[in-house]
Structure 1
Amino acid sequence: MRRNLLPVMALLLGTLFLFLGNGLHGLLLPVRGSAEGYSNEILGLLGTSWATGFVLGCFLAPKLVMRIGHVRAFSSFISLIAVIALMTGILVDQYWWVGLRALTGFCIAGTSMIIESWLNERATNESRGTIFSFYISITLIGVVGGQMLVGVVDPSTTILFMICGILYCLAMLPTTMSTAASPQPLKSVKLDLPSLYRNSPVSFVGILLIGIANGAYGTLGAVFGARAGLSPNMIAIMLSVTIFVGALMQFPAGKASDRTDRRYVLAALSAIAAVAALVLVLLQPHNHVVMIVFVTLYGAAANSLYPIAVAHANDFASSDEFVKVSGGLLLLFGIGTIIGPTIGGPVMTELGPYALFAVTAIAHVLLTGYAIYRSRLRAAVPVGDREHVPNIPVTASPMSTPESLTLDPRAAPLPPHEADQQANHPRASGEARP
């Protein structure tokens, strides 16, 4: 394992600092914004603008990378993110924050694509699984660690914004100072949404609904906590626990879906998430322990849905279509993540903070019903012919980029002649230095 990870350790270290900054900044803005009295609509737009920028970055950032190179592009993106983090501490203004958050999402897409393409090129078919798993773990640790920092320092000061800037600058150092070879040009994924729907209607509709629910909670969960009377430290604990239990739940949920019709598992988990959300809406518990228990139950079910939906889509696709299918699902998830906070903010304003879970409950009820309906129209793929459920990170903003798909060990390996060409490329031997 050490032999597989040593060539990419600088990249992984930079990734850790990047996601520490992402976790901290992503939670700090709604917590500070709520304390400043910003409306639920504006706080929801923070998530909408970030997701919009991220989706646009997945399409447009590769062109910039190809134009100026990986190292220059990476340094530019990180510099902008660090500047924005510091500016949001200086310009405590809701409209500035919404605009800057979109630019942050765009830059995060660019930096993630560069890191993922670099990792992919340094990985062999034998080490790809190890590197992919370690990369997922790094993102999870980074986001949770960053969120927990919110409870360490008073969010009403500028200190946490400065810490964000420091973390982003540290994320730049390992990669820019590394002597590792620069990666090949970024790959483009041709998306075909009509074909994706024909391949798996449940995954198509389900991923969109999961994006709406996860986007609403991921963006407005901190706002809900603040409006419900939780301290910044308790808000960080609540959000971090939902990520952890969601990650842990992927293992039993994945095994269950490997042994039976995945649509039944999707329906069951969606029903559990809907019930937990409805209990919160109806009871509106004043006891914070009871509240966090039900939010944790919600997170365990809701955050384990995405990988099962992806696996279900790949059950009906050929092995060489994995990147195209998963890329389309990422786009649908991104669209859902844009819709969720846009709906959730006004609903919370009209009906109160607990109405956030009414939005997520509706999405999960629709997914439950549609999964059961489709299970009656189409037979499941035999167990022996399925792909195993992947372990996909469940961060607060669990979007990835198309480059991460080629890093996934389920992706088709390079043909022998292409693998030889890549291995013999001057940059692969370290002759070209960044």
Structure 2
Amino acid sequence: MLHVLKNSWPLLLGMLLLMLGNGLQGSLLGVRGPQAGFSTGMMAIVMSGYFAGFLFASRMTPGMIRRVGHVRVFAALGSLVSAVLILFPAVVDPIAWTIGRVIIGFCFCGVYVTAESWLNDSATNETRGQTLSAYMIVQMAGVIAAQGLLLVPDSSGFLLFVIPSVLVSVAFAPILLSISPTPAFESTKPMTLRELYSHSPLGVVGMFLLGGVFAAQFGMAAVYAAEINMSLGKISFFIASFYIGALVLQYPLGWLSDRMDRRFLVFVGAATGAAAALVAMVFGSNYVVLVAAAFMIGGSANPLYSLLIAHANDQLEAADMASASAGMLFVNGLGAIAGPLVIGWVMGMVGPPGFFLLILVLLSLMAAYALFRMSQSEAIEDTGLYTALSPNATPVAVEVAQEYAIDVAEELEEEASNP
């Protein structure tokens, strides 16, 4: 691990600062929007803009890198993010905020692709797994720590928007000053969704449903908390609980998934998250219960992202994995775009409990479908290796994980054939 930190500390430090800024802006908009008089439906549209931008950038960024290079793309996208963050408090309008969220989603995805391609190029077969794990831990830690910044006093109404702008700007310094030339990122031709579904029905359906759950966590949790009049301190800890749960439970579920049928773990994780959402709906007036439910939803739902990718890879040849990853991310992005819109509509119909109601429905559907798939086919005996991935993973991060899993599997196969 020390070797990994020595070689990748500029990237890891930069990503930590970036996730601090990104985590703060998402929660901050969710709090400030209702204060500015935006309806729940308006906030749903604003929040869905991030995922629309993220989806477009995952397709366009590789071409941008090939044309002008990693450093220029990194600097250009970063400057746009910093500018948009400053404009949010200056132009308090739902249309302007939606456009800003689309731009931020596009830019952050582009930044992730650029940084992750550097990470993939600098890692070796011996360090790839550790590097990816450190990268994902830093991402999650940044989002968790960002919630604490919500408590910074802001009498002017501008300071909390200035902080993420500064963090994003400073984040590029260690990366741009330390980055070494990297090869152009080669995009892969994705499978058609029909082909991908034929290989892994649970992977495709689960990814779509999970996109809605992630959008609820990242985009609408702060809106829900503001709607029920939580104090700023309580909102901060409530949102952080989703990511703390993910950080704590990611590895144990991953360890289990390499030793048993992944579909069963998908069922257990989705059912656990659905049960936690039901408890939050029934006892929503109790803050401790809400925090515990958020911890369990985050801890059970976030690892499902990696589980579903690993399950899909179990059905594929090594040569098909990179192509399939783009399709899985595209499906997840579609669910993430639709998630806030549907949650906003449900909350408008039934009130704040609609936030947990939709999470309950989505995770229940996933659990039911996993159970159905288990009843349709025999358990898979040979499974690949699980690698933890963030819900914000880009095609580069997925391919890093896949390369690592393939390398380790080949090493294990060689050891087995040459005892």
TM over 0.5: yes
What code does the residue aligned with 2:287 have?
H
Question: CA offset at residue 81 of structure 1?
Answer: 0.3
Aligned residues: 405
What residue number does 1:43 align with? 43
- Residues 1:156 and 1:359: Cα distance change in structure 2 (over 3 Å): farther
**More moved, 255-264 vs 31-40:** 255-264
Superposition map of 1:185-200 within 5 A: 185-192=184-191, 193-200=193-200
Contact 1:40 1:345 (C-alpha < 8 Å) held by counterparts = yes
Deviations 1:300-326 (A, max 9, x none): 222222211111111111223222222
Contact 1:216 1:340 (C-alpha < 8 Å) held by counterparts = yes
Question: CA offset at residue 77 of structure 1?
Answer: 0.4
What code does the residue aligned with 1:391 have?
A
1:400 aligned to 2:406? no
What residue number does 2:145 align with? 145
- Residues 1:122 and 1:64: Cα distance change in structure 2 (over 3 Å): same
What residue number does 2:270 align with? 270
Superposition map of 1:159-198 within 5 A: 159-178=159-178, 180-192=179-191, 193-198=193-198
In structure 1, distance between residues paired with 2:260 and 2:180: 45
Contact 1:319 1:411 (C-alpha < 8 Å) held by counterparts = no
1:410 aligned to 2:404? yes
Q: Superposition RMSD on alpha carbons, in Å?
A: 1.7
Question: CA offset at residue 155 of structure 1?
Answer: 8.0
Superposition map of 1:76-115 within 5 A: 76-115=76-115
Deviations 1:32-75 (A, max 9, x none): 11221211112111221110111101111222222222111111
What code does the residue aligned with 1:307 have?
S
What residue number does 2:361 align with? 362
Q: Which runs of 5+ in 1 are unaligned?
A: 414-434
Residue aligned with 1:353, SS: coil
What residue number does 1:417 align with? none
The share of aligned pairs that are identical, in percent, is 34
In structure 1, distance between residues paired with 2:155 and 2:209: 32
Deviations 1:173-199 (A, max 9, x none): 112222x42211012022112221111
In structure 2, distance between residues paired with 1:35 and 1:53: 25
TM-score (norm 1): 0.89
What residue number does 2:304 align with? 305
In structure 2, distance between residues paired with 1:271 and 1:4: 37
Residue aligned with 1:108, SS: helix
Deviations 1:2-39 (A, max 9, x none): 33332322222211111111111111111111221211
What residue number does 2:132 align with? 132
1:389 aligned to 2:382? no
What residue number does 2:220 align with? 220
In structure 2, distance between residues paired with 1:150 and 1:355: 24
Question: CA offset at residue 284 of structure 1?
Answer: 4.5
In structure 1, distance between residues paired with 2:16 and 2:294: 27
Question: CA offset at residue 369 of structure 1?
Answer: 1.3
Superposition map of 1:243-262 within 5 A: 243-262=243-262
Deviations 1:128-182 (A, max 9, x none): 122111111111111111222112234871101111111011011112222x422
TM-score (norm 2): 0.92
What code does the residue aligned with 2:383 have?
R
Question: CA offset at residue 280 of structure 1?
Answer: 2.4
Residue aligned with 2:126, SS: coil
In structure 2, distance between residues paired with 1:288 and 1:79: 39
What code does the residue aligned with 1:87 have?
L
Residue aligned with 1:146, SS: helix
- Residues 1:60 and 1:162: Cα distance change in structure 2 (over 3 Å): same
In structure 1, distance between residues paired with 2:298 and 2:38: 26
- Residues 1:52 and 1:226: Cα distance change in structure 2 (over 3 Å): same
In structure 1, distance between residues paired with 2:396 and 2:259: 30
Contact 1:88 1:161 (C-alpha < 8 Å) held by counterparts = yes
In structure 1, distance between residues paired with 2:29 and 2:101: 10
In structure 2, distance between residues paired with 1:108 and 1:41: 24
In structure 2, distance between residues paired with 1:87 and 1:187: 34
Q: Which runs of 5+ in 2 are unaligned?
A: 408-419
**More moved, 295-304 vs 360-369:** 295-304
What code does the residue aligned with 1:8 have?
S
**More moved, 18-27 vs 298-307:** 298-307
What code does the residue aligned with 1:197 have?
Y
Superposition map of 1:348-359 within 5 A: 348-359=347-358
In structure 1, distance between residues paired with 2:307 and 2:335: 17
What code does the residue aligned with 2:404 have?
R
What residue number does 1:326 align with? 325
What residue number does 1:3 align with? 3
Deviations 1:59-103 (A, max 9, x none): 112222222221111111000000000111221222111111101
